[in-house]
Every structure is written in C-alpha cells, then in structure tokens.
C-alpha cells in the first residue's frame, strides 16, 4: 500500500525545515519568495494535503472551530425522530465554510441546565484549543458560558441571540419574521389570529411574539391575550395551546406557530375535531423543516436560514483569528417565507 505523504516528505523534497513548510502552508511571514515557491512546488508534486497537526505547527492557530449545541434537546430530537434538520443544516453551513479556509468544525453537546456547564465548556476548550466558538440557542444567551468565553479571551459567535452582549450576534431578525408571518395572514383577510410562543428560555421566542403584536397593532387590531398560547417548542405544548384556542367562544381563523412541531400539533388538533386547514384554520409555522412539506396540507412556513447563519458565524471567527479588526458586531441573515397550501384567503 502507498504510504501517505506527510509534511516530512514535503520538507525533504523542498530541502527546507518542517517549520518552513508549516509557515508556507499557513501563509505565515518570514519566508523568502523563492523558498515559498519551492515548497508549493513540492506540495503539488507530492499531492500533499495538510493535516491539522501540520497546520498547528505554525503556532498561531488550531484550525478548529467548536460549535456547542444543547444536549437535551438535540438527543431528544434524535431519539424521537421528529424530522427536524436543525443540526444537519448547522453542520452543513459551518463545515462547508470552514473547509473553504482550511478549517474543521467540531460539534459538542453541552447541557445548558447543568450546574457544571462552565466546567463542561472549559473541558471541551482545553481538549481542542479552538480558534473560536459558535453558540446556538439557548447557549447563545447563557451568561455563564458567555462570561467564561470573555474571561478566556476566545472569539465567539451567538446564533439566534437578539440581546446585546459580547461576541458576534448572528440572527435572522426574529421580530421581523414574526411580523412577516402575521402580515401574510392579515393580507389574506384574517383578523382573529392566534399565536403559539416558543420556550421562554430562548430570547427569540419573545422577539417572534413582539413581531406578531407589531403586525396586529399596525393594522389597528387589539391584542387579545386569549389568542396567545404559551408553548415551549414541543409537540405537546402546541397541542395544549390549540386545544385551548378551540374552546374559545370565537376561535382563531388563523395561527402563527413558533416552530414546525407546534404548527403540526395544531393541525392534528383541528383534524381530530373534524376541521381542516386552511378552510377552518390557516397555519404559518417557523423553521421549514422537511416534515412540513409532506404534511396534509403542506404548511406555509418561515424559512430559517440556519446554514447561512452558521456559515457567517464561522466566517467571522476565522477572520477574527486572522487579525481582521474591521468586523461587524452583528449580522442579520435574510429569512424567507415558503407559501404552501395551509394558508389562503379568509
């Protein structure tokens, strides 16, 4: 079997030291042009692909980004097989962007409710020595994690965080998305519109509700608290909220659900009562995971740009590590609205 080409082979072929090869691979300084050219020719001739270990010899970077996701929700989603692809999109966006810059992204699960969350995060950082950290909700609003990263002086990005704070804030403007979902139903002639919130642990839940209230107020409609159901992103909470709406003397004719699971729960509730969507209830959900395209009817949904947000977070962290000081504190990535058969004119 052919042995893999290593940095030692490149150094021998070019007649230079291992450190010189590492500096060339990492675009480091203090390498004469003719030496840099000789090393690059050796790399091309031997078909050498730099390893993380070889890149780290440059000393200034680890060439790794660490992404932290919530352990309980991630494992629960995998076990239940509910058809969400949040993690898939996050990994795709981050990994593809990292690969463009010679980086790798490592994915770790951390329990945000643990009394030892700081210890868990510190252990992961000590083991990997990442150049930056990507926080996803609810970690992106966890003060214990944020304070630790600030203390360590490690660049980090907060995906889906709508509160002010350190690090790069990457959002899709959840308030605007909540307003867009509600405006779509208002434009169709609905005026009695229900809203199911997400978990209070996530700042984006309040932002989406604020968008709903803004849209209603701008059309001169009063906010009816009876039409605001308190959910937590679970199917069960969506079911409970929709059951409560159905018991009202005047149920809503349209609904905005803060995620797809709760939107599907609402659909099941009305079907169990002999009602249909959109005839009896127009539904708009959030996230646009694969399962809503195959429900009956397919749900209209806010398209959350998860991959694009993770890619942007990766890009900013890599640029920060490279010493780029001209970087924005916050970036808003555009969301979309996929209109399907669950909404129509009132």
Measured distance CA(195)–CA(309) in Å, rounded: 25
CA count, 13 A, side-chain hemisphere, 196:
34
Measured distance CA(150)–CA(154) in Å, rounded: 6
Measured distance CA(202)–CA(73) in Å, rounded: 13
- Architecture of the structural domain at 7-56: Orthogonal Bundle (1.10)
Q: Phi-psi region for residue 119, left (φ > 0), alpha (ψ -120 to 50) or beta?
A: alpha
What is the CATH code for 64-172+306-334?
Answer: 3.40.50.2300
- β-strands 193-196, 156-159 pairing: unpaired
State the residue for tokens 């149920």: 251
Measured distance CA(228)–CA(190) in Å, rounded: 16
Instruction: Give the residue from 225, 215, 219 showing the smallest Cα distance to 245.
Output: 225
Measured distance CA(257)–CA(233) in Å, rounded: 9
Question: Two tokens at 340?
Answer: 């399907």
Question: Two tokens at 7?
Answer: 């940095």
Residue 285's DSSP bridge partners are 301
How close are the terminal C-alpha atoms of the chain, in Å? 69
pLDDT per residue rounded down to tens, the chain (346 residues) = 556 788 888 889 999 988 888 778 776 778 899 989 998 898 888 888 766 555 555 556 788 999 999 888 888 778 877 667 888 899 999 999 998 888 999 999 998 877 888 999 999 998 889 999 999 988 999 999 999 999 999 999 999 988 889 999 999 999 999 999 999 999 999 999 999 999 998 889 999 999 999 999 999 999 999 999 999 999 999 999 999 999 999 999 999 999 999 999 999 999 999 999 999 999 999 999 988 999 999 999 999 999 999 999 999 999 999 888 899 999 999 999 999 999 999 9
Domain with CATH 3.40.50.2300 in the chain: 64-172+306-334, 174-303
Phi and psi, residue 79, nearest 5°: -65, -40
Measured distance CA(310)–CA(16) in Å, rounded: 39
CA count, 13 A, side-chain hemisphere, 346:
14
What is the DSSP code (8-state) at residue 255? E
Could you tell me where the DSSP H helices lie in the chain? 7-14, 18-25, 33-46, 52-56, 71-80, 86-100, 117-128, 143-152, 174-187, 203-218, 235-246, 260-272, 306-321
Question: Two tokens at 65?
Answer: 């980004």
Predicted confidence at residue 238, as pLDDT, reads 97
pTM of the model: 0.80
Measured distance CA(63)–CA(322) in Å, rounded: 11
Domain with CATH 1.10.260.40 in the chain: 7-56
pLDDT in tens, 162-201: 888 999 999 999 999 999 999 999 999 999 999 999 999 8
Predicted confidence at residue 257, as pLDDT, reads 98
> In CATH terms, is domain 174-303 a member of 3.90.960.10?
no
State the residue for tokens 């979309």: 336
Sign of CA dihedral 176, 310, 84, 294: positive
Instruction: Give the residue from 263, 310, 253, 252 showing the smallest Cα distance to 286.
Output: 263
């Amino acid at each position: 079997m052919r042995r893999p080409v290593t940095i030692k082979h490149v150094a021998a072929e070019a007649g230079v030291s291992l450190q010189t090869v590492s500096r060339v691979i990492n675009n480091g300084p203090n390498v004469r042009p003719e030496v840099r050219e000789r090393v690059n020719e050796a790399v091309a001739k031997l078909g050498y692909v730099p390893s993380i270990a070889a890149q780290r010899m440059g000393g200034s970077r680890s060439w790794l980004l660490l992404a932290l996701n919530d352990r309980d929700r991630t494992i629960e989603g995998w076990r239940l097989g509910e058809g969400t692809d949040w993690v898939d999109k996050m990994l795709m966006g981050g990994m593809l962007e990292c690969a463009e810059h010679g980086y790798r992204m490592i994915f770790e699960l951390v329990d945000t409710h643990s009394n030892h969350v700081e210890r868990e995060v510190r252990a992961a950082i000590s083991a990997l020595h990442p150049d930056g950290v990507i926080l996803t909700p609810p970690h992106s609003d966890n003060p214990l994690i944020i304070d630790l990263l600030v203390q360590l002086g490690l660049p980090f990005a907060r995906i889906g965080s709508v509160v002010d704070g350190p690090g790069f804030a990457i959002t899709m403007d959840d308030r605007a998305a909540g307003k867009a979902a509600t405006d779509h139903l208002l434009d169709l002639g609905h005026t009695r519109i229900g809203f199911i919130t997400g978990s209070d642990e996530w700042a984006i839940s309040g932002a989406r509700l604020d968008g709903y209230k803004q849209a209603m107020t701008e059309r001169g409609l009063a906010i009816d608290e009876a039409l605001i159901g308190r959910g937590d992103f679970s199917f069960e909470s969506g079911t409970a909220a929709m059951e409560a709406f159905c018991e009202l003397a005047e149920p809503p004719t349209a609904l905005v659900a803060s995620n797809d699971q709760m939107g599907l729960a609402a659909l099941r509730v009305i079907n169990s009562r002999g009602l249909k969507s959109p005839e009896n209830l127009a539904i708009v959900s959030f996230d646009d995971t694969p399962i809503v395209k195959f429900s009956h009817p397919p749900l209209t949904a806010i398209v959350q740009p998860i991959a694009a947000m993770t890619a942007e977070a990766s890009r900013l962290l890599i640029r920060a590590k490279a010493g780029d000081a001209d970087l924005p504190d916050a970036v808003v990535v555009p969301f979309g609205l996929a209109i399907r058969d669950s909404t129509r004119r009132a």
